[in-house]
Structure 1
Amino acid sequence: METRYIKYFIVLSLFFVFGCSNTKYLAEGELLYTGSTVKVKDSVIKKKERKVLEKEGENLLVPKPNKKIFGLRPKLWIYNLAGKPKKAKGIRYWLRNKVGEAPVLFSKVDLDYNASVLRNYTQNRGYFKTRVSADSTAKNKRVTAQYIVLPKRQYKIKNIQFPADSSDLGKSIAKTSDKTLLKEGNPYDLEIIKLERERIDASLKEKGYYYFNPDYILAQVDSTKGDHEVNIKLKIKDKTPDKAAIAYKIDKIVVYPNFSILKDSLTYKKEDIIQYKDYTIIDSAHTFKPRVFDRTLYFKKGDYYNRKNHNLTLNRFVNLGTFNFVKNEFKVSDSLKNTLDAYYYLTLLPKKFIRVEVLGKTNSASFTGTEVNINWNNRNVFRGAELLTLSVFGGAEFQLSGKNKGQNIYKLGGETSLTWPRFITPFKMEGSSEFVPRTKATVRYEFQKRIQLYALNSFKTSFGYIWKEDIRKEHQLNVVDITFVSPNNVTAAYRENILADASLGKAIEKQLIFGPTYSYTFTNRMLKFKKNTFYFNGKADLAGNVTGLLLGANIKRGDTIKVFDVPFSQYVKLETDFRHYLKLGNESELASRIIVGAGFAYGNSNTLPTTKQFVVGGTNSIRAFRARSLGPGSYNAPIISNSFLPEQSADLKLEFNTEYRAQIYGLMKGALFVDAGNIWLLNADPNKPGAEISKNFMKQIAVGAGAGLRFDFSFLILRTDLAFPLRKPYLPEGKRWVIDAIDFGSGSWRKENLILNIAIGYPF
């Protein structure tokens, strides 16, 4: 046996011995509780249902035993190893109380209580004659508990009866019967009955029954008729308050847009009152234009109370971004019968404020750095809840490893943006959800200096819309998106590199890009309880298309159109990013991603602008290859000089990533990952053999793997990934898989193949 395997065997053996020694710390008479099992015994119940009852039953049992990892209890071992500290501080106290876990003793286990919990649980699932027995087994100061459940046959629903009385409330409840959760033939389940009451209440809340609640519905269950069947009768309780049986309409709608919780803001003068449509606005400072409330409030006078509109209104007030506190109440009206007066009390955020942001960041080129943003903001600048932001920023980025090390990037710039909480269009458009749609105009300038290479002046302006259909779906459409890039201070060394690789000249060409861009995002990642969650982002970038077609631009015929002496770009670019997250446990998941992108230049352009082309490799891509050094296709870019590695980009991109993530301890998390993909050119380039897309493109896929650590400091996640290639597409066919060449013990192999990625945040 090799020496390293002997070491591993000794370490594992010692850990096992230490893990088994936890019971020696127990006092005389104490027993360590190691867990419980639930066994459902009944030949009538299907095996699948028995397994469900057993699993759910075990989850109900208390207390939970000490946590096991690979069959051992390391937290309990640390608790015992630390011993009893003399002071409530220090390393020993921290190990025992923060890292370790006190033993769960069998004396804390109440077998009868757990048996009653299991009995109630199964009875609530329709097993009305359940019997439960409990016992325990002790061995070597360890105790396990066993529960035997005899549920017999499950009762099914035979008939459901809704209220048949002639009252408006009874009729309203009966009208919801087509959407009932109680189905004839389904098993009896108390939880479903509770959900049914909540469903009925939610339906009534949409029809004006403001004071109704689920407790006013009684479900009478009769199990005396039929063979293991129940009849369920839903009725309104006799003691239901009168006001709960009334469907209310809205009368007055009063808004206090400048309300203060620190003083009595309800005192006002006659001249403070503004009557606008159905709304009464009380504000001595005339803080907002009245139409702001017409766009935000979903209630109109004479409408039935509706909980959906109630919540939509509150959410829209919050999403305006001008209020720190939003309070609402409904009161029975004094003027009209069966009506409610709605009151909205809105506390303002500070109108003007300065925000300073210091960011740590990484990008697709494996540059790591920092950026400082200073933002001056003016809320409600034109009394329409608009937001004006003036920003200045500066930053520096450094490549910590690789051939481009030392070619740092410095940038400085400013931006002005104005955001309106509505659509500004020639035709009328309204948002249809609780998320306020926004129109945003932006003007930005940035100076970027790449040490030893060149500098770029970049001007950008855009005008577009951002809106959400719901919490999962977001759209962003820029109808105007103009970028102008002009280079200067190009170094002689970089010009010499252009002579060796003409494609490098694209980076310092003047660029004029204009046209609409669109992005759609769907995600349900906020649903933490779901086992499968998704993220999808699709982008469309259409530059110069209409202009090029109207003017007849055709670079192949020499008909190039210039604007301000700069040829404008004409292309279509599409990109999709799909991610799937499979929850494996409370602290582990499998994350996967696929990216597909394509760009096609035509008319006034023969290639995509450098800033719009696709790249792979680096901290957020295929981590076994240095940033932008991979591809296109099987092309292997030569190293022009010892200090410069040219960046590769192309028209097409295909990338796959999958990563297993799990918590190791505390703020430290670990990951194992595999990345694959490449980029390709649409058209052949004689200077880049093998770069063009072909039917054999899958043979040019690069593959890498690795492991990493993530340190979650809550305010940022520091990520370190160590990766190495499994397949190199630039090698001759038949030799591209390099798994057999992996040799972690070889210094030359490590130097050539191991890539350390240091980044901030998850790669996807």
Structure 2
Amino acid sequence: MKSKLNIYYKYLLASGFAAVTLSCSNTKFLKEGQMLYTGGEVKIENDTISKKDKNELQAALEENLVPKPNSTILGLRPKLYFYNIAKEPKKDKGFNYWLKYKVGEKPVLLGDVDREFNKDIIQNYSENKGYFNAKATYDTVSKNKKAQVIYTLRPGARYLISNVKFQKDSSLINKEIQTFTNKTFLKSGNPFDLDVIKSERDRIDNGLKERGFYYFSADNIIVQADSTVSKGHKVELNVKLKEDTPELATEQFSINNVIVFPTYNIQDVKKGKYSVPMNPDSLAKYAYDDIYVIDPQHKFKPKIFDRALYFKKGDLYNRSNHNLSLNRLISLGVFKFVKNEFVVSDSLNHKFDAYYLLTPRQIQSLRLEALGRTNSANYAGSELNLNWTHRNFFKGAEQFKAAVYGAFDVQMGGQENAKNIFRAGANVQLSIPRIVAPFRFNSSSAFVPRTNITLGYELLNRTEYYKLNNFSASFGYVWKENARKEHDLKVIDITLVSPANVTELYNSLAAKSDAMRRVVAKQLIFGPTYSYTYTNTMLPKTNTFYYKGTLDLAGNITGLVTGANAKKDKQKEIFGVPFSQYAKIENDVRFYHKFTEKSSFASRFIGGIAYPYGNSEFVPFSKQFFTGGSNSIRAFRARTLGPGSFDPRKVGQEFIIDQSGDIKLELNAEYRANLYKFLNVAAFVDAGNVWLMHDDPSRPGAKFTKDFFNEIAVGAGVGLRLDFSILILRLDLAMPLRVPYYEKGDRWTVDRINFGDSSWRKDNLILNIAIGYPF
């Protein structure tokens, strides 16, 4: 024990010595008279300010100091060290350039610091926060070619708001302002704060924009502060319009005409084909209800603009409907550019015309994709996709998509008798930019709701085993409340799986496994599905969140009406095929934390359960849960993990079936960092498994029990991500840390890691190649 402690002490001593050496070594590169700037510190001398206010003020002032010193890690400056040791490159490329200017960081010297400028910043910021008599000084402390600047602030007492007045007069705009003064941000007793005053001006501006004052600006508001009216350290605020406010800004405007150019092109404008504003006499022939659609070639149905635009003739202008209309036009998906102009057409009655100048996207597109791929189940192959898109199929911004595809996967190693896989299919989708239903659906969202109709067919051929014909169809709706919340309801979602050419070889193998027999069983699945998605990951926040919940109900009403009960030999059929009856729910929760602009943490939890009843004893194979693979638990090959503690090696060498379950639990955590431009790295840990609701004699240990926690698989690894903007190529190398089908007490494998053993590497290291992030 003593010898180990000596080793630790020596290690700590060596580490400390290395840290001091590395820290001091940066100063030896400085020229005579130069000093390395280590940062600025603000000291506040005032006993009347609370500790909380003092800390907040100090943190804000130090954040505003410029420049920032060289970055440190545990007190060291490795970036500065790399800059110093790298030779000056002759060209703006190569290793030296990368090391010096990309990895490295130029030294920040004391000579780069404008101390008078920082002193002014400290005084001005303090005064803006209500410390009207703030005074600041500074001093420089230097030692061993390093220098720090100490700023001392004497802020005095902070001024509080004694009273807030909104100056009244007889003008229309003043009367409108008086109607929402009760929601002011300026409160008596609160500290004087210039940022709050600016927010109050913006609040008034936004309120007036909602009431027709289109030409008004927050700069037209002045907030006067008077510290002579009240005794003590208090200030009275007077909110009013500036004397030089333009007359146009005080007028309340309403909509006269709404005019749409759906085929607007800037090149045609230069040729004189468009006239904005238009002659009123030429508008009549383009009228549609209360709007005018200038579309001589009739490329678009006018009613799509009537649905998308929230301005009607005679409406009072408001900013909400202004932005809402623009966002809905963009979300139609058929316009590349959307521009809006307001032109005064009746100055006497304060009316203007609203022009919408819309540049269409390419209406039709044809794309051919050829992909080469490999997966973690030792298959390599290729896929060919031909996709055709029409963005205005019935001239109402309907999007029609059709695709045909073919693919093959060939076994490149692993099981000697595993067979090749061929897939071919086609699918079509019609997306209509409204809710097609017998009921009325009103949406005030900035996103146009859509009705989606899909049809598809796929042939799966697993050579020497079986063929599966898969027919699918769905009808449903997608709508968004806002940018964060989306709903996807499929009123009907139908899948018919029909096997063909099931070989005697497969039947002989399936005789040993109920799960294998269910793979080639006829399946008719129909019912509604619903998913709800919430996300704020698009916001520039430190912590962001994503949630998706899915509910799948198959055959429920039909099962109740027919009295179906598979367990009592009352299984019902439709067209000779038993229909599936089950309830399935799945939750996907993700959390993201940003450490810096170049490093972040991502995590995900998936929990799901599928319960068969009525006409089904089992959940259809295609609707069960799977785990393992490049987007799941990466230390295990795709769909080979579970269920429970079942050992997939017991299936034998003849055939490896995808392992499925009725219950799924999965947790993933990943640290991501950017190394250089497009090169990113990651370190990750994955855990989870799937289980069955009921016993399966052919798969012992597969049922979910109270001992499920001991059947959790764990894997970890590192990855490279090549971010080429148009796509992200991901390579993740993972290894298992806990294997649930090993004997109890022997499932953790950390003590058996041996990178130097080729057989261990072959059995344990899994390379996942994929496109995009796993979550």
- The range that moved more, 202-211 or 410-419, is 410-419
Identity of paired residues, percent? 51
Q: Is 1:96 aligned to residue 109 of structure 2?
A: no
CA 1:367/1:548 → structure 2, altered by over 3 Å: closer, same or farther? Answer: farther
Query: Which of the residues 698, 701, 710 maps onto 2:709?
Result: 698
Query: Which of the residues 239, 262, 265 maps onto 2:267?
Result: 262
CA distance in 2, matches of 1:12, 1:756: 38
Cα deviation for residue 482 of structure 1 reads 1.3
Determine the structure 2 residue equivalent to 1:177: 181
Determine the structure 2 residue equivalent to 1:720: 731
Determine the structure 1 residue equivalent to 2:160: 156
1:82 alignment partner AA: A
CA distance in 2, matches of 1:10, 1:394: 61
CA distance in 2, matches of 1:452, 1:110: 79
Cα deviation for residue 692 of structure 1 reads 2.1
Q: Is 1:574 aligned to residue 585 of structure 2?
A: yes
CA distance in 1, matches of 2:417, 2:483: 42
- The range that moved more, 390-399 or 226-235, is 390-399
CA distance in 1, matches of 2:409, 2:596: 37
Listed as ranges, the matches of 1:92-131 within 5 Å are: 92-131=96-135
1:321 counterpart SS class: coil
CA 1:759/1:485 → structure 2, altered by over 3 Å: closer, same or farther? Answer: same
Q: Is 1:380 aligned to residue 380 of structure 2?
A: no
CA 1:736/1:44 → structure 2, altered by over 3 Å: closer, same or farther? Answer: farther
In the alignment, is the contact (CA less than 8 A) between 1:367 and 1:400 conserved in 2?
yes
2:274 alignment partner AA: L
CA distance in 1, matches of 2:53, 2:110: 30
- The range that moved more, 389-398 or 338-347, is 389-398
Q: Is 1:86 aligned to residue 90 of structure 2?
A: yes
In the alignment, is the contact (CA less than 8 A) between 2:417 and 2:653 conserved in 1?
no
Could you list the per-position Cα deviations for residues 482-537 of structure 1 after superposition, in whole angstroms to 9, with x for gaps in the alignment? 11223345466544432333312222222221111111100000112x22211010
In the alignment, is the contact (CA less than 8 A) between 1:364 and 1:621 conserved in 2?
no
In the alignment, is the contact (CA less than 8 A) between 1:163 and 1:171 conserved in 2?
no
CA 1:227/1:702 → structure 2, altered by over 3 Å: closer, same or farther? Answer: farther
- The range that moved more, 308-317 or 484-493, is 484-493
Determine the structure 2 residue equivalent to 1:687: 698
In the alignment, is the contact (CA less than 8 A) between 2:378 and 2:414 conserved in 1?
no
CA distance in 2, matches of 1:363, 1:430: 46
CA distance in 2, matches of 1:531, 1:134: 34
- The range that moved more, 479-488 or 421-430, is 479-488
CA distance in 2, matches of 1:71, 1:274: 71
Cα deviation for residue 597 of structure 1 reads 0.7
Q: Is 1:627 aligned to residue 638 of structure 2?
A: yes
In the alignment, is the contact (CA less than 8 A) between 1:255 and 1:280 conserved in 2?
yes
Determine the structure 2 residue equivalent to 1:327: 339
CA 1:283/1:223 → structure 2, altered by over 3 Å: closer, same or farther? Answer: same
Could you list the per-position Cα deviations for residues 218-241 of structure 1 after superposition, in whole angstroms to 9, with x for gaps in the alignment? 101122323322221111111111
Determine the structure 2 residue equivalent to 1:658: 669
Could you list the per-position Cα deviations for residues 200-232 of structure 1 after superposition, in whole angstroms to 9, with x for gaps in the alignment? 101111110111110111101122323322221
Could you list the per-position Cα deviations for residues 4-37 of structure 1 after superposition, in whole angstroms to 9, with x for gaps in the alignment? 9999999997787466433333333333323222
CA distance in 1, matches of 2:356, 2:507: 65
Could you list the per-position Cα deviations for residues 356-404 of structure 1 after superposition, in whole angstroms to 9, with x for gaps in the alignment? 4456878897978764432222222212111222222234557888659
Determine the structure 2 residue equivalent to 1:239: 244
Could you list the per-position Cα deviations for residues 578-612 of structure 1 after superposition, in whole angstroms to 9, with x for gaps in the alignment? 11222333333332222111111122211111111
Cα deviation for residue 467 of structure 1 reads 0.9
1:556 counterpart SS class: helix
Could you list the per-position Cα deviations for residues 65-95 of structure 1 after superposition, in whole angstroms to 9, with x for gaps in the alignment? 2333343333333333332233455443444
CA 1:18/1:284 → structure 2, altered by over 3 Å: closer, same or farther? Answer: same
2:511 counterpart SS class: helix
CA 1:696/1:183 → structure 2, altered by over 3 Å: closer, same or farther? Answer: farther
Determine the structure 1 residue equivalent to 2:231: 226
- The range that moved more, 23-32 or 235-244, is 23-32
Query: Which of the residues 616, 628, 636 maps onto 1:617?
Result: 628
In the alignment, is the contact (CA less than 8 A) between 1:423 and 1:438 conserved in 2?
yes
Q: Is 1:470 aligned to residue 478 of structure 2?
A: no
Determine the structure 2 residue equivalent to 1:252: 257
In the alignment, is the contact (CA less than 8 A) between 2:375 and 2:769 conserved in 1?
no
CA distance in 2, matches of 1:456, 1:387: 30
Determine the structure 1 residue equivalent to 2:351: 339
Determine the structure 1 residue equivalent to 2:524: 512
Q: TM-score, normalised by structure 2?
A: 0.90
2:127 counterpart SS class: helix
1:201 counterpart SS class: helix
Listed as ranges, the matches of 1:282-681 within 5 Å are: 282-334=294-346, 337-357=349-369, 371-396=383-408, 409-450=421-462, 453-490=465-502, 494-528=506-540, 530-642=541-653, 644-681=655-692
CA distance in 2, matches of 1:542, 1:564: 21
CA 1:391/1:10 → structure 2, altered by over 3 Å: closer, same or farther? Answer: farther
1:656 alignment partner AA: L
CA distance in 1, matches of 2:263, 2:362: 12
In the alignment, is the contact (CA less than 8 A) between 1:398 and 1:405 conserved in 2?
no
CA 1:44/1:368 → structure 2, altered by over 3 Å: closer, same or farther? Answer: farther
CA 1:372/1:157 → structure 2, altered by over 3 Å: closer, same or farther? Answer: farther
CA 1:362/1:50 → structure 2, altered by over 3 Å: closer, same or farther? Answer: farther
CA 1:16/1:499 → structure 2, altered by over 3 Å: closer, same or farther? Answer: farther
Q: RMSD of aligned C-alpha atoms?
A: 3.1
Q: Is 1:72 aligned to residue 72 of structure 2?
A: no
Determine the structure 2 residue equivalent to 1:34: 38
- The range that moved more, 35-44 or 119-128, is 35-44
CA 1:381/1:709 → structure 2, altered by over 3 Å: closer, same or farther? Answer: closer
CA distance in 2, matches of 1:59, 1:324: 41
In the alignment, is the contact (CA less than 8 A) between 2:551 and 2:584 conserved in 1?
yes
Listed as ranges, the matches of 1:55-66 within 5 Å are: 55-66=59-70
In the alignment, is the contact (CA less than 8 A) between 2:141 and 2:148 conserved in 1?
yes
Cα deviation for residue 117 of structure 1 reads 0.9
1:121 alignment partner AA: Y
CA 1:176/1:27 → structure 2, altered by over 3 Å: closer, same or farther? Answer: same
CA distance in 2, matches of 1:66, 1:360: 45
CA 1:250/1:370 → structure 2, altered by over 3 Å: closer, same or farther? Answer: farther
- The range that moved more, 470-479 or 340-349, is 340-349
CA 1:661/1:184 → structure 2, altered by over 3 Å: closer, same or farther? Answer: farther
1:628 counterpart SS class: coil
Cα deviation for residue 281 of structure 1 reads 2.0
CA distance in 2, matches of 1:372, 1:10: 59
CA distance in 2, matches of 1:178, 1:287: 50
- The range that moved more, 545-554 or 302-311, is 545-554
- The range that moved more, 337-346 or 584-593, is 584-593
Cα deviation for residue 99 of structure 1 reads 3.9
Q: Is 1:196 aligned to residue 204 of structure 2?
A: no
CA distance in 2, matches of 1:350, 1:293: 19
CA distance in 1, matches of 2:13, 2:721: 28
- The range that moved more, 433-442 or 221-230, is 221-230
Cα deviation for residue 306 of structure 1 reads 0.6
- The range that moved more, 641-650 or 278-287, is 641-650
- The range that moved more, 450-459 or 677-686, is 450-459
- The range that moved more, 226-235 or 48-57, is 48-57
Could you list the per-position Cα deviations for residues 256-310 of structure 1 after superposition, in whole angstroms to 9, with x for gaps in the alignment? 2222211223269959832121112222112222211110110111111010100
1:333 counterpart SS class: strand
